[in-house]
Amino acid sequence: MASKFRRENGLDYTAGDIVVANGAKQIIFNALMATLEDGDEAILPAPYFVSYPEMVKLLGGVPVVAECPEEDGFRLKPDVLEKAITPRTKWLFLNMPGNPSGAVYSEPELKALGAVLAKHPQVLVLSDEIYEHILFDGRAFVSFGKACPELKDRTLIVNGVSKSYAMTGWRVGYAAGPAPLVKAMSTIQSQSVTSVSSIMQAATVAALNGPQDDVARFREAFERRRNLVVDGIRQVNGLTLPPPEGAFYAYIGCSSLIGRKTPKGVVLEDDTAVATYLLNEGRVASVPGVAYGLSPYFRISTATSDEVLSEAIRRIKAAVADVE
Ligand SMILES: Cc1ncc(COP(=O)(O)O)c(C=O)c1O
């Protein structure tokens, strides 16, 4: 894994700075368990991955939502970060490309966040980079660790094989960070589940160090599907979708549907009502924006075939056209 970080991210870590767990989720859970005291705050730029606030709460922390609206490209701005930081802030979560928005940060944008963080030495940074290889329009990935090397002693870079290698079921995640934090996370890991199974470890080494042709092939397929979904949703009156810059989701804006009525007379009061309507009447599964901390949106996944996506868009279009 040290060679992966060096080769792909230009980061220098040794084995003692790296921990492996049963998925990026367990990595994040262990990091929070190792660090959070009751009442400690974790800043979550919204829209965020659904598990972040749940893990923070479960471990006694307080999620502090920092809204990153569509007009800011769903990215955290330095002034929004500055306002969210308090003496109780323990963590800032970053996720790029983001689930659900697909937002990616440029190196100057990361450096600007780093400049704010430099003033607040109590804040640790969790950079969830699990979608790093699923990037569109020729973008190159810049790890937070590469952009802000001066924060290395309080940055945890989180990654895993679930997304880049389509190995979700293998349950392997890993992270690199300051040795004392990594040691505490390893102790939690060791006293709870011991380790990641040796079979999964061998498969992960093969994925990370073997031929990478499939990663490029997957990326191309996801970009094609991103285009298919963006083109399709743009033709649906009442929905908006800025092209996702990475990852495999579409976070679709539905503000103009709110307050309107379905053919059965149900008022679409919020994005949960929209997602419920799409499921029950349109037969399309989506997740409402409220789950990600930013409404009104719904998220669909593009990790499925072009045919299924085309059919989903057809159904969404028909269901939305029926709203009065
Ligand atoms: C942003 C983000 N981080 C972490 C995970 C979980 O990864 P893993 O399968 O390695 O636990 C996901 C999965 O949906 C995700 O979207």
Closest CA to 78 of 118, 128, 27, 30: 118
* Residue 127 in tokens: 């950079």
pLDDT tens, 201-215?
A: 999 999 999 999 999
49 CA from centroid of ligand 1 (Å): 8
pLDDT in tens, 117-168: 999 999 999 999 999 999 999 999 999 999 999 999 999 999 999 999 999 9
Atom of ligand 1 nearest to the CA of 24: 10
User: pLDDT tens for residues 75-89?
Assistant: 999 999 999 999 999
- Look at residue 198 in the predicted model and tell me its pLDDT: 96
* Structure tokens belonging to residue 188: 């939690």
The predicted pLDDT at position 243 comes to: 97
311: confidence class by pLDDT, cuts 50, 70, 90: very high
Relative to the CA of 161, which ligand 1 atom is closest?
A: 10
Question: Would you say domain 2-209 falls under CATH 3.40.640.10?
Answer: yes
Q: How many CB atoms lie within 10 A of CB 65?
A: 17
Q: How far apart are CA 141 and CA 13, in angstroms?
A: 18
Give the mutation target among 49, 52, 127, 156 for probing the ligand 1 site: most ligand atoms within 8 A of CB: 49
What distance in angstroms lies between residue 30's CA and the mean position of ligand 1's atoms?
Answer: 14
Q: What is the pLDDT of residue 236?
A: 96
pLDDT band at 91 (very low <50, low <70, confident <90, very high): very high
User: Which residue ranges does the chain devote to CATH 3.90.1150.10?
Assistant: 214-321
pLDDT at 94: 98
CATH fold of the domain at 214-321: Aspartate Aminotransferase, domain 1 (3.90.1150)
Say whether 152 sits in a helix, a strand or coil.
helix
Instruction: Tokens for 152, please give them.
Output: 């290395």
pLDDT recorded at residue 188: 97
| 291 CB neighbour count, 10 Å cutoff | 20
114 pLDDT band (50/70/90 cuts)?
A: very high
Task: Output the pLDDT for position 170.
Answer: 96
DSSP 236: S
Give the pLDDT score at 267.
98
* CATH 3.40.640.10 domain range(s) in the chain: 2-209
- State how far Cα 3 lies from the chain centre: 24
Report the pocket of ligand 1 as residue ranges, CB < 6 Å: 23-25, 49, 95, 99, 128, 130, 160, 162, 168, 173
Residues 6+ apart with CB under 8 A from 264: 281
Mean pLDDT for 18-28 is: 98
SS3 at position 74: coil
Centre of ligand 1 to C-alpha 64, Å, is 20
88 alpha carbon – ligand 1 mean position (Å): 26
**Residue with CA closest to ligand 1 atom 7:** 24
Q: What is the predicted pLDDT for the residue at 263?
A: 97
pLDDT band, residue 253 (cuts 50/70/90):
very high
